[in-house]
Structure formats: structure tokens, C-alpha cells
Chain A
């Protein structure tokens, strides 16, 4: 008897494709109700994708950022909110992998993420900091071997559904706003009192409600590196790259719909050129630029991973900022063009060509870490950092 056909393909791509198939079934419902995509996240857990980035000796698969980015692209083609939750979880995990492998508690925590397939949330936003996650108002209090934190977190993505939260604060009550640490709190170590409702244009399924966070835990759960280093060396780069990967997924799915639409028209009237055909060529060119840009960004990140000086250099920060700016801005014209091609069938909800959700989800890209803020940071750096003038570096 041949059993091979019954054993599911365990490649990373196949596992993500199975998740995407489930996410697709519920994507419209998740969007409409603004509810957590529980089915897709359960599928991620049953495919055991939560801990894949964690090193093998901590129970994971040691997968690279590029491999994870690919999964974000695959899942985003079905449900961008599910892909965003997966990406944000992986960004948090990247901080643990980069900065927690030498800390006893965090190693055990990573093992737990793998064995129990935990979903890790993030609380970096705070009322009063004006959206700059490199500033905190709240401060962690350490007393003996315990730490306590209270934070007015105006946004905690999937806060209610996370199994643990990594949260930033000032490192002590007298520290300046930029002297921050990040602490891991497990679900039974904190309470969340809801203060804001996430009722938004797009990315509705991320359920990024606001909460008053109150937590208490052993002090060893504070990550042993300053948050400034964590932000510069793992968080900003992995955010820009994984987000860009999923935004690309939204745009690619819009393209696929437009292409299917044009092909169907062409087949019905052989010998004629369907009206949207030439725009499809433009979109293809734009998608190629977005894709190459993300791939180049992933390449430089993975190269810089072994070189802490390079990771914290201005040149690297400028390059990562540029990836984010370009992908978040370039996906919009692609999706808009797809809408023009699909016409009323794209504008209507509930058709195979509906693009409303794509367009609304994609508009979050320029806002999550405001592009104006990023351009401001980049332009400051350009006062001293010099543009690479060669083609190959």
C-alpha cells in the first residue's frame, strides 16, 4: 500500500499554503465583523508555524527572515489581517532570538513558544508619546526579584488573543524617555482593561484595541539588552521587511484578480485587445520593483546579522527605511489599477474580483509607523550619511 500520498507535504511553503486556504474562507467575514481570525491562527498553530524562527536547540526550526517573509506573502494573498498577526508575532520572536538566547528565562520561554505554539503580542504604543515607539512614559518598577508595570497602551494588536505580551517601558522611574527596556509578560501575569476599540478602515481582523495594561512578574523576564539595541538590531528591520512582504502579498493578489479578469475577457472575444491589458503590463513592472526591493532588503539584513556594527549603522537604517517607504507607497497604485481593470466587479463586495478589502488593508501600510516620521528620520541621517553611488555597492 502506498502511504506517501497520505502524508501531507511538510515543506514550509506547503504548510503556509494550507493556512492560507483556511484564512481565505473566513477573510471577508473577519473583515466585515472586525473579528479575530481565529481559524487562520489555529491553522498556523496546528501547522506548528509559531516557533519556526527559534533556533533548533530551543525547540524551533531556525528559519530565516526570508523564509518567514515568504510565508507572510503567501498568507496575505488570502487574508492580510491574518498575515499581519503572523508577521507581528514573528517580529516579537525575532527580538527574543536576537537578544534572548543567552538569558535563561528567555530560552525557556522560546521553548514554550514552540511546544505550546504561543502567540506573542506587542505593546510598544503608549498614550502621550506621539507614535514614537522609541520613547516611553511608563516605567518598570523592580523590587527585589519582582517587576511591575502599568501602561496606557493605546494599541495592542490582538491583545485579547495573545498568550504573552512583549511590552516596552522606561528602565526605571528616573530614566529619560529614550532609556527603555522590553519585558515579556505571560497571560496569567497581566490584566487588560479595554480603553479603545479598533474599528478601522482596514486591517480590521488584527483587533488592535487599546488597553490599560497592568502586569507583575519575576524581574528576570526583562530582556537583558536596552530596547534601543533591540529596536535597531532586530525590530525595525524585521518589521519593515515582514510588513513589506505581506503588503506585497496584498498587491499580488489584486494583480492576480485583474489578470484573471482580463484573460476571461480576452477568451470571450478572441482577436480583440481587452481594455485593461496595457495596464496589466504597468502593474507587472511595478510589482517587480516592489519585489526586488524587498528581496534586496532581506539580503542585506541577513548579511548584516553577523555584524552588529553594520546592523546599527546609518546606512543599514536608511536602507530598511527605504524598503518600507517604497513598498507601502507602491502597492496602492497597483491595487487601484486592478480596481480600474475589474471595474464594478472589483468595486462590489462578494464577487470573485472584489478589491475593497485589499484597498482598505493596503492603506494601513503608509500609516503603521507613519511614513512622514520615517522620512523625517531618514532625512536627518542624510545630513551625514552619504548616498551609495555605485550600482553593485
Chain B
């Protein structure tokens, strides 16, 4: 999953730096993720993992770092398994 997120981030994040230089816990907004690019990334994640982000997870914290995105996506996929 980490790799998939990184691939999408490289494609959609519009970042001024190479994605493999970004650590899992680095603040993506500080690295240069714009709000427009963050939405493109969310759409990419929704398409790739065939899911939708519920509104309560659409906040800064959920997408603040690669690790945070992983946690957010995982929690949605796990909720789906339970359901």
C-alpha cells in the first residue's frame, strides 16, 4: 500500500521534490502539497482502492503525511471488511 500511495503521490501530488526523498512521516503540506493536488490524490486513491472517503475523514490530519494516508485508507478498507 505504501508503494501505491507513493506512486499516486508522484503522479498527482505536483510536488517540487522527488517522492522517494519524502519520509513516511514528513508533513506533505510543508513539502509543497497544494489543496488542489491533495484532492487529486484523494480521487486517485478512491479509484485505485475502489472506495470513498467519508466526510469525517476529509480533514488535514488524514492526508498530512504518507503514513497518515496509509492509516486513513486502511481504516476505510477494514471498516468495509467488517460490514
CB-based contact B59/A314 at 8 Å: yes
A377 proximity list for chain B (CB < 8 A)? 35
The A-contacting residues of B in range 18-60, CB under 8 angstroms, are 27, 29-36, 39, 42-43, 46, 53, 55-56, 58-60
A175 proximity list for chain B (CB < 8 A)? 30
A314 to B55, CA, bound (A): 8
CB-based contact A384/B31 at 8 Å: no
A386 proximity list for chain B (CB < 8 A)? 55
CB contact under 8 A between A226 and B35, given known A312-B61, A315-B55, A385-B58: no
Interface string of A302-317 (1 = CB under 8 A from B): 0000000110111100
Counting chain A residues whose Cβ lies within 8 A of the other chain, the interface size class is 20 to 34
- Classify the secondary structure of A's interface with B: loop
The B-contacting residues of A in range 362-379, CB under 8 angstroms, are 377
CB-based contact A314/B58 at 8 Å: yes
* Shortest beta-carbon distance from A142 to chain B in Å: 16
CB-based contact B61/A309 at 8 Å: yes
- The answer to whether A381 has its CB under 8 Å from any CB of chain B is yes
* Shortest beta-carbon distance from A227 to chain B in Å: 10
Which of A71-79, A113-121, A176-184, A276-284 has 4 or more CB atoms under 8 Å from chain B?
A: A176-184
B55 proximity list for chain A (CB < 8 A)? 313-315, 385-386
B39 proximity list for chain A (CB < 8 A)? 380-381, 383-384
* Residue of A175, A229, A314 with most chain B CB atoms under a 10 A cut-off: A314
Number of A-B contacts (CB under 8 A): 59
A38 to B32, CA, bound (A): 41
- Quick one: which of A178, A313, A380 contacts B58, CB cutoff 8 A? A313
CB-based contact A384/B56 at 8 Å: no
Closest to A175 in B: B30
* Shortest beta-carbon distance from A174 to chain B in Å: 10
* Shortest beta-carbon distance from A250 to chain B in Å: 31
CB contact under 8 A between A226 and B29, given known A380-B36, A383-B43, A384-B39: yes
CB-based contact B32/A177 at 8 Å: yes
* Residue of B30, B36, B43, B59 with most chain A CB atoms under a 10 A cut-off: B59
A228 to B29, CA, bound (A): 8
CB-based contact B56/A313 at 8 Å: yes
CB-based contact B59/A310 at 8 Å: yes
Interface string of A226-248 (1 = CB under 8 A from B): 10110010000000000000000
Interface size on B, residues (CB 8 A): 21
CB contact under 8 A between A176 and B16, given known A377-B35, A380-B36: yes
Closest to B60 in A: A312
A376 to B34, CA, bound (A): 14
A176 proximity list for chain B (CB < 8 A)? 16, 30-32
Interface string of B51-79 (1 = CB under 8 A from A): 00101101111000000000000000000
* Shortest beta-carbon distance from B23 to chain A in Å: 16
A313 to B31, CA, bound (A): 20
CB contact under 8 A between A380 and B35, given known A226-B30, A228-B29, A312-B61: yes
* Shortest beta-carbon distance from B36 to chain A in Å: 5
Closest to A387 in B: B55
CB-based contact B53/A384 at 8 Å: yes
CB contact under 8 A between A384 and B16, given known A179-B30, A226-B30, A228-B29: no
A380 to B36, CA, bound (A): 7
A381 proximity list for chain B (CB < 8 A)? 35, 39, 58
A377 to B31, CA, bound (A): 20
B36 proximity list for chain A (CB < 8 A)? 380
* Shortest beta-carbon distance from B3 to chain A in Å: 23
CB-based contact A384/B43 at 8 Å: yes
* Shortest beta-carbon distance from A104 to chain B in Å: 24
A171 to B60, CA, bound (A): 19
Closest to B39 in A: A380
Q: List 16 A-B contacts (CB under 8 A).
A: A176-B16, A176-B31, A179-B31, A179-B32, A226-B27, A228-B60, A312-B59, A313-B56, A313-B60, A314-B59, A380-B36, A381-B35, A381-B39, A383-B43, A385-B58, A386-B55
Given A315-B55, A384-B39, A385-B58, 15 additional A-B pairs, CB 8 A: A176-B30, A178-B33, A178-B34, A179-B32, A309-B61, A312-B60, A312-B61, A314-B55, A314-B58, A377-B35, A381-B35, A381-B39, A381-B58, A383-B39, A384-B46
Question: Contact residues of B with A, CB < 8 Å?
Answer: 16, 27, 29-36, 39, 42-43, 46, 53, 55-56, 58-61
